[in-house]
Each structure stands twice: as C-alpha cells, then as structure tokens.
Chains A and B, each alone.
Chain A
C-alpha cells in the first residue's frame, strides 16, 4: 500500500470517464458496475468542521463565520495551528504579600515559534476566552455593498416568482375576465392599497468608490537602506491575511482557522453514494465506501525483463482478489473492436466459453437498477431510481508502446481470507493452473507471466506502456435480497502498466 502513497503510479486503471488512475484513487459503483473517479462523481458537502477542535459547524453558522472556526487560530507566519500556552506571571500588585502569581495564556506556533507576544497581543487571563478581534477598516463599506447585493438578489427572486405565478395560473380568475386587479378594485371602492409584503423599496446603492490620484512620494530610503528580510512579510503571509495584507512582520495577527468539510461522493449516473463519511468529525470511518480497491482485483508489476525495442520480454504481474468471492480473470484486448468507445453491448458479446467449464453461471452484465422491474422490496425501490445523467465515456488518450501476447487461458483467484496470512500449513488449494500462465499462487494472490514486445520504432529512453482489458467475475451482493442468489457479472476493466524505459542492447 505504501507504494501508492510515495511511489510512482506504475499501474493505472481506466475510469469509465476515460481518465487513467491508480486503483486507490477509484471508486466502484456497485449499482452501475462502473469505475468512477473523483472527476466523474458529484461532490457534496456533508458537514463543516474544524480540524483542530473537531467541532461541527452547521452550514449557516459556517457561512456567517466566513468558514472559519471561532476558537482556533492558524499561525500568520507559517500557517500551522497555534497552540495555547500557559505562563505564570507575578501578581498584579507585587506589594501585596497575599497576592498569588497569576496564570496567563498566549498563543504559540510550535513550528516557527511565532507567538502572540511577538506582535504585542496582551496575554489572556482565561484559556478559552476570545482573543481580541481586529476590525477591518473597510468593514462598513463591505457591509454596505453586501447589503446592496442582497437587495438585488431579493428583487430578482421576486421578479422570478411573479413570472412563475403568471405562468402557473391554470384557471380563469375574475381578474382575467374583467381585467381588474385586486388593487384596482380596492382603489375603486376607496380602500387604501396594501403594499406587497415582499416588495421592499429598491436597495440603496452605496456611494461609488472614487479613484484617488494622490500617490505617496517615493521613499528615497528604499534605495539607500539595506533591507532586513526578517522584518518584511512574504507574499504568502500577506495573502493569508487578505483584509490587511501587512508588509511588516509586526502586523501579523492570528488567523481564524479555516473549517474543513466532510464530503460524500455520488455516482452521477445512478445517484448512489460511492463514498460517504461518518458524520462525526472525530471519526475517520465511512458509512459507504465503494472504493475500487475493495472490489476490483489489484494488479501489480512483479518484475519485468530489460525492455528492448522489438524484442520480446517477460512481464510478471501479481493479481490479488480483494473480495470474499472467487473470481476468474480473463485477458482481452484493450479495444475489442475498431470502435474504441467500447460500449456495454460489445462487452456483453464477449464469449464466456471458457467460463462455464468452471460451472459458474454468468449473467449478462446489466445494471441491476433497471427501471421497469417490479418494486418488490424496499432495497429494490431504492435501486430503481432512474439515472439522472448518462455519462458518455471519453476516449482513453494513453498511447500503447508495446504489444502483449494475450494468454488464451484464464486463471482463478481465490477469495480473500484474512486468516490465511497466519496459516503456515502451506498451500492447500487444488487448482489446475496453466503452468505457462500462472507462475506462483498463494491464498488470494497469483503471479502470472505475460510476453510483451515493445514496438520496433522506440528509441532508448522511451517509456514502455502496455495495456489489456482484464475481465473478472464480479459478485454483486446488493441484489442478493431480491433473488436470494448473489448475481455474477463479467466486469471488464482496462489496465495499463508503465514498465519503464527502453534500454540499449546488451
């Protein structure tokens, strides 16, 4: 796993949107049976929370506080969290012999050692007390402008409502027939007209900003005095405080910590969640986590022989099955037909001839959430939501620079067994493997051999990329409620391996 964080991504899977990503960055929607990535799912904000104090903020409050935590601060110098530090100081009046030393609190950055004392913020007597807030000099003006825009938004909303009201009217009213409105009627019989409750006077426009032409004299000392960089803020520091943009370090003041969001990701085609975190900010668990890593067999490069243009060489790949169900892996060409936009029909046409010999009934790959089937159970109704968007896959832009000799036989991957790691009794599987294909196997893993040939026209130093379509049997457990038996599907995933660079001849 660690390699996925630090190492280069040498094996990538094609997402249904056409992007290539390592398996750890992909989701697998169990309802559409498609890979989804961060670019092709809907991101929704579940909750706002402060990453330091782990306090949940309701979204209205978060907006009011400008998405910042009221209690936590970031260092204005280096953006790390500021910690509260306690210190004891002498009593207020040292003459009084009974006075005890007081405890005071200040803010300290443990990274760059910036402290609230550096800029002269007085120490606080209470640990949880609020620190002095700085008022923006332009606050009033900003407020005025915000008010104006709020007024405009309201007026526009109202206009739209009026329009909708006119459209929605389906029945003839008295007014339509006579052309007399209620307000006209009121006037005619001498009643005062009541103003519309939503109709407020037009928002007051604030005074226009005036461009000033007085520019300060160029300070000569900028050229003569040596600059002390320790006194001047960096560009980053200035932009962290957009309201003040201080130029010297003595004007750096603590920044309220920006709140983070917990977000859930939703498949755009079927509107089911592919990832949903638990609500509590202290929890790192998920309610729903359809990560591809838990559903799609993982492919790793085991070894590869030195790559030479036009010369066949051996590539060993390690497959592991993350699911609780046995699967069969078959190799198919990357693009089954001329049309690179291989649609599902083509996928379904792929013959399953080898597979029945293993006595596994394969159903046609078909999203289980087809509308039209009778809503028998609660689960089922939730599944039969009609897709909102049909996402058209984009072509995969990865150039393939080596040919793979696709094995004609397939191989079995046993289900994952967490206890197997502690089992020293040796391999007890009895699987008849094609020894030309399968080199090694243990519990849910197998290493297979592929012969690849980098293209003739490659030069030394060119990247070698191979790819194939991996067909695996996916056992869908969500439909088990309805049909008792979990359904099996042939799922096709395009996998690309980045094998390294062409080397010279021996």
Chain B
C-alpha cells in the first residue's frame, strides 16, 4: 500500500480498488472493487459510513491550469454518502447524506451540501453550490427540493459488511478509530 493512504478501522476497502495519492477513508465506509479514488491535486478525505460502488471515480482535480503546489485544495467528503455504480465525482466539497446515482457526473466547480441527490445520468458542470436536500433528476437535470434527507442505506451496508470480506481481499486498516463510542 502506498504511503499516503489511511484507512480507519471498521472500513471495508477491497483490494482491487484503485487508491492514488493522499486518501483517508473513514470508519464504516465500504469501497467496492474497481472503484478509483485519485488524489491528484490534493488529499481526499472520506468520512464515515460512505458506500462507494463499482466503477466510481472520485478525483480531486484542480481546475485546468490552476495546479500550484502552494495552494493545496483538499476534497472533503462527509459521512453517509452513497456513490452508485459508475458515477464520476470531481466536486470541491461534499457534505453528508448525499446520493450520487449511477453514471452521474459532478464537475470540479460544484459544492454539494447535505442531503442532495444527483439523479442517474445527470451532469453538473457549471459553478454552483447545491442547497440542502436538492434533488436533480431526469435527462434535463430538473431540480426540486426534497422534504428530507434521503434515508441511509443501512440494510444494504450491513449486508455488504457481512458479505464482502467473504469474497474479496481487503486492504488492512492502518488507523485506529480514535472516536471511541
């Protein structure tokens, strides 16, 4: 394992996923095989209980022509986020309880707050900050405001925590969860 990668105990990180650069993965987070997390322009910090499915690409990518070593930009991803199959995320910052549905794309000028849902196939490219509980859906990227945050995928996460270690090699956690609860 390369040096910059920190996996907090309790996280399930499959060996076949691709982690590059300075990546921190919080406890309870599940990373499926063939997901890639690439900390190119700065570190990526992923919170707790996130679900990162196959073919997901999370990239910390500085805007074109703005790579400078002095001003390192961190990509902080909160807790309880779901990244569904084949989504591509290059956002500036992501809060908690968001869902990125399959094949969605979030560009590198977008800030996501909490409880947002980016619908399947939706592409967000323009500079913007999504308000809490915003839902983007449909081929025209219609926007509406949800009543509440999307429900966490607890059942699915529990199953995966049980099943994944039976069929996949896991990367060993190298950080102890210092939040004793």
Q: Which residues of B have CB within 8 Å of A114?
A: 144
A78 and B147 contacting across the interface, CB-CB below 8 Å: no
Instruction: Determine whether A437 belongs to the interface, using a CB cutoff of 8 Å to chain B.
Output: no
Assess A117 versus B147: contact at CB under 8 Å? Given A111-B137, A112-B138: yes
- Bound CA span A229–B143, Å: 9
Q: Is the CB of B147 within 8 A of A112?
A: no
Give chain B interface residues in 106-139, CB to chain A under 8 Å: 117, 119, 134-135, 137-138
Q: List A215-251 residues whose CB lies under 8 Å from chain B.
A: 229-231, 234, 249
| Contact A249 to B147, CB < 8 A, known contacts A78-B138, A111-B138, A112-B138 | no
Query: Which residue of chain A is the closest to B138 with respect to CB atoms?
Result: A78
Is there contact, CB below 8 Å, between B144 and A230? Answer: yes
Chain B residues, CB < 8 A from A78: 137-138, 142
A258 contacts the other chain (CB 8 A): no
- Rounded to whole Å, the gap between the CB of A87 and the closest CB of chain B is 9
Given the contacts A111-B119, A112-B135, A113-B135, A77 and B147 also touching, CB distance less than 8 Å: no
**A249 partner, pick from B119, B134, B137, B144, beta carbons under 8 A:** B144
- Shortest Cβ gap from A114 to chain B (Å): 7
A115 interface hit (Cβ, 8 Å): yes
Distance of B115 from chain A, by nearest CB (Å): 11
Q: Is residue A118 within 8 Å, beta carbon to beta carbon, of the partner chain?
A: yes
CA distance A156 to B4 in the complex (A): 88
**Residue with the greatest number of chain B CB neighbours at <10 A, chosen from A113, A230, A231:** A113
Q: Complex: how many Å from CA A115 to CA B117? A: 14
Q: Of residues 37 to 94 in A, which have CB atoms within 8 Å of B's CB atoms?
A: 77-78
Q: Are A118 and B147 in contact (CB under 8 A)?
A: yes
Closest CB in chain B relative to A248 CB, distance in Å: 12
Shortest B65–chain A CB gap in Å is: 33
Which residues of the other chain, B, contact A229 by a CB distance below 8 angstroms?
143
A89 to chain B, nearest CB (A): 14
B150 within 8 Å of A (CB atoms): yes
C-alpha gap A117/B143 in the complex (Å): 18
A425 to B71, CA, bound (A): 69
> Known contacts A112-B135, A113-B135: does B142 contact A230 (CB below 8 Å)?
no
B146 in contact (CB, < 8 A): yes
Contact of B119 among A112, A117, A118, A231 (CB under 8 A): A112
Closest to B150 in A: A113
User: How far in angstroms is the closest Cβ of chain A from B46?
Assistant: 24
By a CB distance below 8 angstroms, the chain A residues around B119 are 111-112
For the complex, what is the distance from the CA of A77 to the CA of B144, rounded to whole Å? 9
Instruction: List A98-154 residues whose CB lies under 8 Å from chain B.
Output: 111-115, 117-118
A-chain residues with CB within 8 Å of residue B117 when the two chains form the complex? 113
Q: How far is the CB of B42 from chain A (nearest CB, A)?
A: 32
Complex formed: what's the CA distance from A115 to B143 in Å?
Answer: 15
A230 with B145: CB separation less than 8 A: yes
Output the least CB separation between A80 and chain B (Å).
9
The complex places the Cα of A78 from the Cα of B150 at a distance, in Å, of: 18
List the B residue with the shortest CB-CB distance to A117: B147
Q: Report how far A78 CA is from B140 CA in the complex, Å.
A: 11
Interface centre among A78, A112, A117, A234 (most CB of B within 10 A): A112
Per the 8 Å Cβ criterion, residues 227-279 of A in contact with B are: 229-231, 234, 249
**Chain B, range 141-156, C-beta contacts under 8 Å to A:** 142-147, 150
How many Å lie between the Cα of A111 and that of B144 in the bound state? 12
Give bound CA distance, A118 to B133, whole Å. Answer: 12
Most buried by A among B119, B134, B147: B147
Q: Whole-angstrom distance between the alpha carbons of A117 and B137 in the complex?
A: 19
Min CB distance, A268 to chain B, in Å? Answer: 38
Measured CB to CB, the closest approach of chain B to A424, in angstroms, equals 36
Q: How far is the CA of A114 from the CA of B144 in the complex (A)?
A: 9
Give the A-binding residues of B (Cβ under 8 A).
117, 119, 134-135, 137-138, 142-147, 150
- Given contacts A113-B135, A118-B147, A234-B142, list 8 more A-B pairs with CB under 8 A: A78-B138, A111-B137, A111-B138, A112-B137, A112-B138, A112-B142, A117-B147, A230-B134
Question: What are the nearest 4 A-B pairs in CB distance?
Answer: A112-B137, A230-B145, A118-B147, A113-B135
Q: List 22 A-B contacts (CB under 8 A).
A: A78-B138, A78-B142, A111-B119, A111-B137, A111-B138, A112-B119, A112-B137, A112-B142, A112-B144, A113-B117, A113-B135, A113-B146, A113-B150, A114-B144, A115-B147, A117-B147, A118-B146, A118-B147, A229-B143, A230-B144, A230-B145, A234-B142
